[in-house]
Structure 1
Amino acid sequence: MVRRILHISDCDKFIPPYIKFIKENFESDFENHNFLVTSGMAVNTLPNYSNIYLIPKSKVGKIKHYFHIVYEMNRSDKIIIHNLFNFKNVVLLFFMPWTLKKAYWIMWGADLYTYKLGTHDFKWRFREFFRKRVIKNFGYFSTTVPGDFELVKDWYKSKSVFIQNLMYPSHLYRDLIPTQSKDKSEVYIQVGNSADPTNNHHEVLTYISGLELDDYKVFCPLSYGSPSHRESVIQYGKDLLGDKFIPITNYMDFSEYNKYMSSIDIAIFNHDRQQAMGNMIGLLSLGKKVVLKRTTTPYNFFKSLGLKVYSLDDKDVMALLTKDDKVRNIGIMRHHFSPERLKSDWEKVFYG
C-alpha cells in the first residue's frame, strides 16, 4: 500500500471537484494525499481540508511553499504533477532527477503543445532545455487521449510508462437534462470553449457567416482566457452575425454549464491541438454534434471509440445528428466515460 501521495497543481476549475472525488472514492487513504496548490481561477471553491496547502500571497510565503514542495517530493512515494505549466516545478524536478522515477505527469494539453505552438524565442529555448530533460525521464505519463502520449515519445523521446486516464470528474458522461427553453426551429451553434486565441474563433465565425442558414444563433463561451482576444471576438462576431452572435462572458458553475450545453445542437472546436476535452465529452454525452479538426488527437481518439464526430470539410457538417447517431454516441459515452472507469484509472496510478 502506498504511504504518501503528493499532488502538485494550479487551482484550475478541475482541481476542487477532483479533490472531492478523491475524498469520496478513496476515503480510507485520503489522509495519505497531500495537495500543494498554487493560486488559480477556482480558489474560492477549494475544499477546506487539512491536507490542502494553498500557496500564500506574500513573497516569503511563496518561498516557503516551494521549500515545502521540495520536502514533500523527497518524502512522498508518488508525485502527481497536474499540468506541467508551472516552470518553477519543472526546475525543481530538473535539479532533483531522482524524484522523476516516481513522478506522474497528468497532461492537460497546453503544457505539452507549447513544444509545437510556442514562440520559439530565447525564453522558449531556455524553458525547453529544462523541460526536455524532465519530460524524457518522467516515470509515468497519464492523460485521456492516447495520441498525446505518441507525441510525447516523438517530441521528447520519453521513457515514460503510459496510463490512460479519464483524469477528472469533468470528463465523465453526463445524463441528459432538461433543455433550456428555445425555439425548436432554431439551431444553436457553439464556437470554442474560452477566450484563448487557440480556439481560432475568427476563422469559424467567417465560415458560419458564409453559410445560407435560416434560424440559428451562435454562442461563444468567453468567460476565461485572453481579455484582449475576448473583445476582438465579440466585435468580430457582432460585425459578421449581428444579433445572431451571443458571447458568454460570465463564468458558469459545472451544473449551470451543463444546462447551457443541453440547449446546443452543434459545437465547433477549431483548435489545432488537444483542448476543451471536458466540453467535448459533455456535448457528446448529451447527444450533440461535435466538429473538430481531423489533424487533432481528440478527433482520432473519438473516432477510435466508434463515435460519430465531424470536421468542417464534411458536407453535412451543419445538419443535425440523426436519431440513430445520437443514440449510438450517447451509448458509447455512457459506457466509456463512467465513474467506475475514472475510479479504476486512478487506482492504477495510486496503487499500480
Structure 2
Amino acid sequence: MILHVASLDKFIPPFIELINEHFDSSKHQFWLSGDKEKYPYQTSNNIYQVKRTKAGRPKGLLYLAVQLHKADKVILHGLFNPYVVVMLFCMPWLLKKCYWVMWGGDLYTYQLGEKNWKWKVKEFFRRPVIKNMGHLVTYISGDVELARQWYGAKGQYHECLMYTSNLYKELKLEPKASSTLNIQVGNSADPSNNHIEVLEKLLPYKEQDIKIFVPLSYGDQQHAEKVIRLGREWFGDKFYPLTDFIPIDDYLKFLGDIDIAVFNHRRQQGMGNTITLLGLGKTVYLQQDTSQWQFFKSLNIKVKSVRCGDISVLADNLTESNKLKIKEHFSKETLLEQLSHIFGEGNGLPYQRAA
C-alpha cells in the first residue's frame, strides 16, 4: 500500500482524481488534514480526512502512526505539518520508505524563515528528518542540491512533475483586440512575491498603455491590502487587484490575456503559473539567482531577468520555441510515467506509455 500524507491545498484534489483515474486506487491511501470545504474533493474509501474537532487531531495522528507502519511507501506532499515532522523524528526507521515531494516553502524556510525560537525548534526536528529522508521528489534539481547543502539530505532524487498544475495546458488564444500591454505581478498575496519592488520598477511606464493585474486572493491579506493601496495610489485605474478566487478555467483565460508576467520571488515559487504562461507564449520575468531560473535555462527556455532595465515582450520566434519545449517537457504522459516509476511494480498499476 502507498500512503499519501497531505495538508489540503489547491493541488491535492486534482492529484487524488489523477491517481484514482489512472492507477489502482485500492493500492493508494490518502491521509488528509485541513479544510475540505475550501478544497473540496470527491469522497472515496481510500481517503481519511482528519476531523477539525478537539478529538479529531489526536485520533487522526494515531491513525497515521498505524498507517505509516503498514505502508510500503509513504508520499509526503510537502513537509509543512509540524505534527507529522515530529512523528517522523520520533520514528526514524520509517524515513527510508518516505518520499518527500518538495513544494518549495518547506525547503526555503531554512533560508527565508524568521530566525526566532519557533523556527529553531522546528528546525531541530526537521533537520534529521530531511537528512535521513529516503527519497526526494521534485522536477527542479537545484532544490535537491540545496536540500543536500543545507540539511545534508542523503535521499535518492526522483524527477517528477507531481501535480497537474505543472502540466502544459492547451488553450486557443483569440487575437488581441487592443494594444494595451497586460502585466501580471506575482501569483499570490504572499509577501515573498515582493510586489512593491516590482510596482516601483513599473512606475516609469505608468503613463503608457498598460494594465497591471495582481492576484491577491491567496495568502497574506494584510500584505494584500498594502499592495492594493499603493497600486491604486501609483497607477490609478490601470491597477487591477484580483481579490476573489477565480475558477481554473476562468483563470486560464485570464492568463491567456496576459502579455508579461513578473515573478519577483527569491526562491522557487509559482511554477504552475510560470509553466502555463510560457506554454501560452507569454514573456516571464524571474530572479536570476533562483533554482527555477537555472531549471528553465537547462531546458533552453528563454525567460527574462527582473534585474534588467526594460519591460518588453520576447520576440515571436523565442515565444514559439518556449511553447514547443513546454509542451514536450510538461506533458500528462510524462507525469504518469514518472509517477509509475515512483510507485513501482505491484503498487498501483504502473502507467504504460502508449505505443
Could you state the TM-score of these two structures normalised by the residue count of structure 1? Answer: 0.95
| Structure 2 match to 1:344 | 337
Separation in structure 1 between the aligned mates of residue 198 and residue 61 of structure 2, nearest angstrom? 42
Separation in structure 1 between the aligned mates of residue 5 and residue 37 of structure 2, nearest angstrom? 15
Shift of the 289–213 alpha-carbon distance from structure 1 to 2, 3 Å rule, reads farther
Superposition pairs for residues 269-288 of structure 1, below 5 Å?
269-288=263-282
Please provide the CA RMSD for this pair: 1.4
Superposition pairs for residues 112-151 of structure 1, below 5 Å?
112-151=107-146
Separation in structure 2 between the aligned mates of residue 45 and residue 9 of structure 1, nearest angstrom? 14
Contact 2:13 2:39 in 1 (8 A): no
Q: Does 1:80 align with 2:75?
A: yes
Contact 2:10 2:39 in 1 (8 A): no
Q: Deviation string for 1:75-112 (max 9, x for gaps)?
A: 00000000101111000000111100000000111000
Superposition pairs for residues 136-215 of structure 1, below 5 Å?
136-179=131-174, 183-211=177-205, 214-215=208-209
| Structure 1 match to 2:10 | 13
In the TM superposition, what is the alpha-carbon distance from 1:211 to its structure 2 partner? 3.4
Which runs of no fewer than 5 residues in structure 2 stay unpaired?
346-355
Superposition pairs for residues 205-244 of structure 1, below 5 Å?
205-211=199-205, 214-244=208-238
| Structure 2 match to 1:54 | 49
Contact 2:8 2:39 in 1 (8 A): no
In the TM superposition, what is the alpha-carbon distance from 1:54 to its structure 2 partner? 1.2
Identity of aligned residues (%): 44
Letter of the structure 2 residue corresponding to residue 204 of structure 1: V
Superposition pairs for residues 27-46 of structure 1, below 5 Å?
29-40=24-35, 43-46=38-41
Contact 1:12 1:41 in 2 (8 A): no
Could you state the TM-score of these two structures normalised by the residue count of structure 2? Answer: 0.94
Contact 1:177 1:259 in 2 (8 A): no
In the TM superposition, what is the alpha-carbon distance from 1:213 to its structure 2 partner? 5.5
Contact 1:7 1:81 in 2 (8 A): yes
1:291 is paired with a residue whose SS is: strand
How many residues were matched structurally? 345
Which runs of no fewer than 5 residues in structure 1 stay unpaired?
none
In the TM superposition, what is the alpha-carbon distance from 1:58 to its structure 2 partner? 1.0
Superposition pairs for residues 302-341 of structure 1, below 5 Å?
302-315=296-309, 317-341=310-334
Contact 1:11 1:42 in 2 (8 A): no
Q: Does 1:23 align with 2:17?
A: no
In the TM superposition, what is the alpha-carbon distance from 1:344 to its structure 2 partner? 1.0
In the TM superposition, what is the alpha-carbon distance from 1:182 to its structure 2 partner? 6.0
Letter of the structure 1 residue corresponding to residue 287 of structure 2: K
Separation in structure 1 between the aligned mates of residue 40 and residue 259 of structure 2, nearest angstrom? 30
Contact 2:274 2:284 in 1 (8 A): yes
Of the structure 1 ranges 207-216 and 80-89, higher mean CA displacement relative to structure 2 is found in: 207-216
Separation in structure 2 between the aligned mates of residue 314 and residue 200 of structure 1, nearest angstrom? 16
Letter of the structure 1 residue corresponding to residue 333 of structure 2: E
